[in-house]
Amino acid sequence: MKIGGNANSLSSYCGAEVFLLERMKKEMIRLEHVTKSFQTKDGEVHAVKDVSLEVREGQIYGIIGFSGAGKSTLVRCINLLERPDDGKVIFDGKNLLELSDKELRAERQKMGMIFQHFNLLRAKTIYENIALPLRMMKKDKQEIDRKVMELLELIDLVERKDSYPSQLSGGQKQRVAIARALASDPKVLLCDEATSALDPQTTQSILRLIKKVNREMKITVIMITHEMLVVKEICDRVAVMENGRVVEKNDIVPIFINPVEEITQNFINTTNNTNKINELIEEKHPLTQLAPDQQLVRLKYSSSNTKEALISEISRRFHIDCSIVFGNVEVIKDAPLGTLVTIFTGTDENIKRALDYTREHGVYVEVMKRGHID
């Protein structure tokens, strides 16, 4: 007697369940048609145009774009450091634009923020920098001491508590800024290019700390960045900004498998080398010279659909040859995402059936060049 489904249907069932659980999570931030312009001597600058997005509790949400795309303005609209001209900013169930100054101050305390250049007070010690928000909240001395020491432990800088910012490295300064942002027990951490001034190794350690803060302290994170590597490393979802607009948004695995907009594709290509194939095709490189019965195909797959040896299976089933030109495996959200550039050799009909079969198995398929056309 057969009990339950096979391994594939089980994994897709679990996938559906994870998806449902994600959907059920509470909404933390919702932007509705947010618009912000600045008047300058050269005229009006439309920094943010009609942006709507939703961030769920516990998510790490990336916002990526080139310089001037409007990322910082958008994140400043979230905590109303900039007041949008139009739209709604719903935070934890409240429209911030409708609150009194006092109510707004209370909501703002639930949002910590860190910046590219750390913004620490030079004349104050590390301890005092972290204590600052607590002093402003008029907490008593004992509570301040307990909280600051706990945060110093978290950022692993207990011994440096009496140092001054100028005596610390960039990575250490950013750790202190993170501790200061966490002092008021926020629900959300807004990070504006938090790793842009840091070397790759220090960037990794700050990203690990942000991930730890997210997972262990259950703090929702918004990561503004111009680096797809940062998004790839820790984000659950990403919005791509261009000229003030969000042009594409998606969860991280689907956006890496199938980016729709050119700007998204360009960002993703910065994290792997498989786009090199486009250059080779353009240069008419010998690797891309095809016989009439050949097609150059890019395949992308994630862990959930790599269980079967699909390539050898389609070879057998559809009487075609598949040779791999090159491949790449990245790890995204702790799961592999593979890209293979392959040459399929066979009749048009067989290749078409093989590609349909491959698609049906959840692999993203892109025919990049056909032999008989050139």
Ligand X SMILES: Nc1ncnc2c1ncn2[C@@H]1O[C@H](COP(=O)(O)OP(=O)(O)OP(=O)(O)O)[C@@H](O)[C@H]1O
Chain positions contacting Mg ion, by CB under 5 A: 72
Choice from 28, 29, 31, 47 touching ligand X (CB under 6 A) = 47
Determine if 68 is a binding residue for ligand X (CB under 6 A).
Answer: yes
Between CA 169 and CA 171 the distance in angstroms is 5
Determine if 362 is a binding residue for ligand X (CB under 6 A).
Answer: no
Comparison of 117 and 218: residue with beta carbon closer to ligand X: 117
Between CA 141 and CA 157 the distance in angstroms is 20
Structure tokens at 183: 């002092």
Contact 157, 126 (CB under 8 A): yes
- Smallest gap from Cβ 65 to Mg ion, in A, equals 9
Choice from 62, 70, 87, 338 touching ligand X (CB under 6 A) = 70
Burial of 21 (0-12, 13-18, 19+ CB in 10 A): exposed
Span from 37-45, 85-93, 172-180, 360-368 in contact with ligand X (CB under 6 A): 37-45
By residue count, the chain amounts to: 374
Comparison of 72 and 195: residue with beta carbon closer to Mg ion: 72
Which of ligand X, Mg ion, none does residue 69 bind (CB under 5 to 8 Å by kind)?
A: ligand X
Burial of 279 (0-12, 13-18, 19+ CB in 10 A): exposed
3-state secondary structure of 329: strand
Comparison of 6 and 40: residue with beta carbon closer to ligand X: 40
Burial of 218 (0-12, 13-18, 19+ CB in 10 A): exposed
Comparison of 172 and 225: residue with beta carbon closer to ligand X: 225
Choice from 9, 10, 19, 38 touching ligand X (CB under 6 A) = 38
Choice from 6, 40, 100, 142 touching ligand X (CB under 6 A) = 40
For the chain, the farthest-separated pair of C-alpha atoms sits apart, in whole angstroms, at 79
- Smallest gap from Cβ 134 to ligand X, in A, equals 29
Q: Considering only residues 180 through 239, tell me which ones interact with ligand X, judged by CB under 6 A.
A: 226
Element (H, E) at 249: strand 245-251
Q: Which residues bind ligand X (CB under 6 A)?
A: 38, 40, 45, 47, 65, 67-73, 226
